[in-house]
Chain A
Amino acid sequence: MVYRTARKRGVAAIILLIALASCDSPLDVITDSERATNVSATDGEFSDRIEITWTAPDMSEENEETQENAVSLVGYDVIRSDSINGSATLTNDLLSADRRSYVDRSSGLRHGVLYEYTVRAVFSDGTRGVSRPDTGYAISAGDIQLGSDFTRYGREYDTTAAPVIANGTVWFQFPAQQGWRYEIRTISADSSNVVTDIRLLSEDDLEATAKVASTAGFIFTAQRSGVHYVELSGGAGTVAVRYLGVE
């Protein structure tokens, strides 16, 4: 009798182990009604922060099935992880259920580091659903000096070297004066066939874009005073910014 009971328990344990082993990963078994979706972190749009946005869980289908005990969304946690510091919850307090974004300005945020963000939805029945992750980064920009002669203060750029960030671009920064004209020029490049993509950002806005071949440049008028960022993609060489004064 004792032997038969033990054998039944052993069989049950084996069946349970097989069942557990055949399960999908935790993310795969969670449906979109149980987690935030479309999580998106900014990729270098800002120098001082990373903004994370998401879509709320689709609760309609879930609650149709359980009308008597409808489950509600209580709020969100935002979790950041990177290869250096591991995983950490950024939100000290639960974000409200109507939030759809979070701005990561934490002191540990470093330019040029690729972070992975997940959003954890918390429900009234105590369950939690973790979103699929998205990566983001704040730009990494080196200082560049300006002169009225663009050949004087060039900075080497090489998309295979620092300060390269995750997507293989180089960033430089300088303060521009509103109303002044500036010229960005690649005064030398590793090959005349190289085309450098240039994007110019001020604060949060894209001010100008250009594709320039070796030794070519483009002139723009600063729309505001403050730090401007030059993003270079493609090739290697020397870039310089010169000022032309008020328009």
Chain B
Amino acid sequence: MYRVLVLLGALGVMAVPRVTAQTASGAFISGELGIGLETDDLVDGIALGGSVGYRFPRGLLLMGTYLFAGTDYYYFEEGTGWQKSPSWADVPNGGSSSNDWLFYRQRHVVGLAAGLSGSVGPVGVFGTGGVLLNVLSLSDAEDYYPDFSTAAEQSSIAGGRVLATTAIRAGISYPAEGTVAGTLSYMVNFDRIDDTTTTSYFQRNSLIIVGVSFQAGGR
């Protein structure tokens, strides 16, 4: 993943015929690190990925985001059945390595959003709103261990493999006039957990995202 992001970023830079601004119209790509304020069952403490998008004239913005949001390991114990382990270190693995472990699921976040971007002095600002998919993918063992498959699906907050929600995101980039810029943004996910009245709602459903953005082309 890291190599792909670096490669895509390098290609983006090479494609720029002249220095362009983060706020100018044109395509952009960014590598991103999402930090969960509180780990939950769909987004781990840290999520890695990136965004691609396009800035249209007048500041209109269209952006797609993918974040790999972690791996969960499952194990079986006689009497208690299938369990989701808090971490690999807690798995009674019988000497097996995590690479050889058959029972895991991976969490993915896929978003598509539209919004506006502009600049305030040397700082670029942007805000978007759109749909966000929380996706679970299970290891191949699900075809042979149906009870594992059931446990891996049911232990998620939503149940099932895909949960479609809405999310808004706002952030800044610096320097606004550079081809390459650092970004910092905040994303909050709605409708994912039905506990908006609790004080921890925003902690459990928020991501702080830091990244590096490359502006490719545009005026």
A243 in the interface, Cβ–Cβ < 8 Å? yes
Residues 118-146 of chain A: 1 if any B CB is under 8 Å from the residue's CB, otherwise 0? 00000000000000000000000001111
Known: A145-B146, A148-B81, A246-B92. A175 touches B102 (CB 8 A): yes
CB < 8 Å neighbour of A145 from B78, B96, B144: B144
Beta-carbon contact of B147 and A147 below 8 Å: yes
* Interface pairs (7), CB distance under 8 Å: A148-B147, A177-B96, A178-B95, A178-B96, A179-B96, A245-B78, A246-B94
Give the shortest distance, in Å, between A18 (CB) and chain B (any CB).
66
For residue B145, which residues in chain A have a CB less than 8 angstroms away from its CB? 145-147, 243
User: Chain A: residues with CB nearer than 8 A to chain B?
Assistant: 143-148, 153, 174-175, 177-180, 224-226, 243-247
Beta-carbon contact of B81 and A175 below 8 Å: no
Q: Give 10 nearest A-B pairs by CB, closest first.
A: A179-B94, A225-B100, A246-B94, A178-B96, A245-B76, A246-B92, A174-B144, A177-B102, A179-B96, A179-B95
B77 in the interface, Cβ–Cβ < 8 Å? yes
Give the shortest distance, in Å, between A188 (CB) and chain B (any CB).
21
B101 in the interface, Cβ–Cβ < 8 Å? yes
Give the shortest distance, in Å, between B152 (CB) and chain A (any CB).
15
Interface residues on B, range: 20 to 34
Known: A225-B96, A247-B94. A177 touches B144 (CB 8 A): no
Known contacts A145-B145, A177-B94, A179-B95, then 19 further A-B pairs from the complex at CB < 8 Å, ordered by chain A residue? A144-B144, A145-B144, A147-B145, A147-B146, A147-B147, A148-B76, A175-B102, A175-B140, A177-B102, A177-B103, A178-B100, A179-B93, A179-B94, A225-B102, A244-B78, A245-B77, A246-B75, A246-B94, A247-B94
Residues 129-164 of chain B: 1 if any A CB is under 8 Å from the residue's CB, otherwise 0? 000000000001101111100000000000000000
For residue A225, which residues in chain B have a CB less than 8 angstroms away from its CB? 96, 100-102
Give the docked Cα–Cα distance between A174 and B145 (Å).
9
User: Chain B: residues with CB nearer than 8 A to chain A?
Assistant: 75-78, 81, 92-96, 100-103, 140-141, 143-147
Beta-carbon contact of A148 and B78 below 8 Å: yes
Residue among B76, B81, B101, B144 with the most chain A CB within 10 A? B144
Give the docked Cα–Cα distance between A60 and B93 (Å).
57
Give the docked Cα–Cα distance between A62 and B93 (Å).
61
Residue among B93, B96, B103, B143 with the most chain A CB within 10 A? B96
Give the docked Cα–Cα distance between A244 and B76 (Å).
8
For residue A226, which residues in chain B have a CB less than 8 angstroms away from its CB? 100
Beta-carbon contact of B94 and A146 below 8 Å: no
Which residue of chain B has its CB nearest to the CB of A243?
Answer: B76
For residue A153, which residues in chain B have a CB less than 8 angstroms away from its CB? 146
For residue B93, which residues in chain A have a CB less than 8 angstroms away from its CB? 179, 246
Beta-carbon contact of B95 and A146 below 8 Å: no
Give the docked Cα–Cα distance between A247 and B100 (Å).
17
Which residue of chain A has its CB nearest to the CB of B143?
Answer: A143
For residue B102, which residues in chain A have a CB less than 8 angstroms away from its CB? 175, 177, 225
Which residue of chain A has its CB nearest to the CB of B94?
Answer: A179
Give the docked Cα–Cα distance between A52 and B171 (Å).
64
